[in-house]
Amino acid sequence: MTSAVANRAVGAIVGSAVADAAAQPLHWVYDLQKLKGILAQDPNPEFRSESANPFYRRQTGQQSCYGDQAYVLLESLSECGGLNVDDLKQRTLKFFGPGSEYDTPVNDPYRDRNGEKSVPKTSFLKECRCCEMDCQIDGIAKLAPIVAFYAGQPDMLEKVEQAIRVTQNNDECVAETLAAARFLEHFILTGPDPNVVDVVLNQLSDPSRKQPQDLDKAVIGHIHQVKENLSKRPQELIPAVFARCIPGSAAWSPDSRAL
């Protein structure tokens, strides 16, 4: 690995952690009116001193639950000199399981709120076996350490899938995460590239691609949808495309938090 590639690999890990901590106080604020009110008072909400997160509370500067998963993965990779699935399972259980900081009412992001059905936190912790129904964003959010470690190596995608299935044994989640891994690896190996979307689309369309998934065609469709909406601002895109994420909308459901 050249020094430039190594610097970009480190940058991916550090940048991911900093961005996660910066956004953590406004994590999971799905009430758009509430969010608009917050941003009206402070249009630069990075590292907001007071958390507005309705699901769990961490001090400003700490990671979200996603960032903490990335930290556990990074620690395991570092201590083991690569991916060790058994070690990752044990570290995940210790960090998020009984007696941990997450084993408290204020920091359990899956606890019942306002009569909503909650997802048992222990579904992916019990015996360190993952939830097959969990297709949330966790896989992509904690991606930086594993891609940075294996970028440029022929088994990178295989290692990513093994790591993700520790907590999310879900084919949809794996297919989307592997696509994201292709994006991140490309940036680490080559630097900025305005054509990266087409590069990844070509990879996913290649019959000889590594780590093929049955859902790759669906992922290709999702990426094309992203291309079609690149010119839209989030304020336009979210109500039009992701209505079920917005509390109070006709399509809203508590499970929309997964998005």
Beta-carbon contacts of residue 153 (< 8 Å; ≥ 6 apart) = none
Residue, of 108 and 250, whose pLDDT is higher: 108
Residue 108 has pLDDT above 80, yes or no: no
- CATH code of the domain in which 168 resides: 1.10.4080.10
pLDDT at res. 111:
55
The structure tokens 């459901």 sit at 253
- pLDDT tens-digit readout, 118-133: 444 444 344 334 567 7
Give the pLDDT confidence of 191-250 residue by residue, as tens digits: 999 999 999 999 999 999 999 999 999 999 999 999 999 898 887 887 777 665 554 444
198 part of a folded domain: no
pTM of the entire predicted model = 0.84
Structural domain for 70, as ranges: 3-193
Given this model, what pLDDT does residue 124 score?
39
Q: Concatenated DSSP letters for 27-55?
A: TT---HHHHHHHHHH-S--TT-SS---SS
Give the model confidence (pLDDT) of 54-69 as tens digits. 888 889 999 999 999 9
> Is residue 216 one of the residues assigned to a domain?
no
Of 112 and 155, which is predicted with more confidence?
A: 155
- Total structural domains in the chain? 1
Residue pair 25/47 in contact (Cβ under 8 Å)? The answer is yes
Q: Which ranges in the chain belong to alpha helices (H)?
A: 3-23, 32-41, 65-80, 85-96, 138-141, 144-150, 156-164, 171-190, 196-205, 216-228, 234-241
CA–CA separation, 37 and 77 (whole Å): 41
Mean pLDDT value across the chain: 85
The answer to the question of residue 87 being in a domain is yes
57 in a structural domain: yes
65 assigned to some structural domain: yes
Is residue 202 one of the residues assigned to a domain?
A: no
User: Does 215 reside within a domain?
Assistant: no
231 in a structural domain = no
